[in-house]
Amino acid sequence: QVKLQQSGAELVKPGASVKLSCKTSGYTFSTSYMSWFKQIPGQSIEWIGMIYAGDGGTGYNQKFKGKATLTVDTSSSTAYMDLSSLTTEDSAVYFCADYPGRYWGQGVMVTVSS
């Protein structure tokens, strides 16, 4: 069956960066799109951006340009999201999901705190 397995919870200091992973199985990753989302607990969902695994082409929400960088490794069917210059406002749960959201990762909590 299809599975999107995200990396574990992160506790990072302000100003640092973090790289989140989303390892997929059960479907053809290399010709698929992967989106990333941010959700602050108790709030709605924000779309960060999307990457096409076939050629690495990306589309970002303007709000997250410079904050998030999406990449893929087709050899391991894994998608990555780098978050840089973290502040407390980046503390949230981050999800990966295929387009249009048939399959979702379990989410990963990122906490930015000194």
Partner 1 sequence: DIVMTQAPLSVSVTPGESASISCRSSKSLLHSNGITYVYWYLQKPGKSPQLLIYRMSNLASGVPDRFSGSGSETDFTLKISRVEAEDVGIYYCGQLLENPFTFGSGTKLEIK
Binding site for partner 1 (CB under 8 A): 35, 44-47, 59-63, 95, 97, 99-102, 104-107
CA–CA separation, 100 vs 42, rounded Å? Answer: 23
CB 6 within 8 A of CB 96: yes
Amino acid identity of residue 41, one-letter, is P
Q: State which residue, 58 or 71, has the beta carbon closest to partner 1.
A: 58
CB of 66 to partner 1, least distance (A): 15
CB 52 within 8 A of CB 63: no
Q: State which residue, 97 or 112, has the beta carbon closest to partner 1.
A: 97
Q: State which residue, 84 or 104, has the beta carbon closest to partner 1.
A: 104
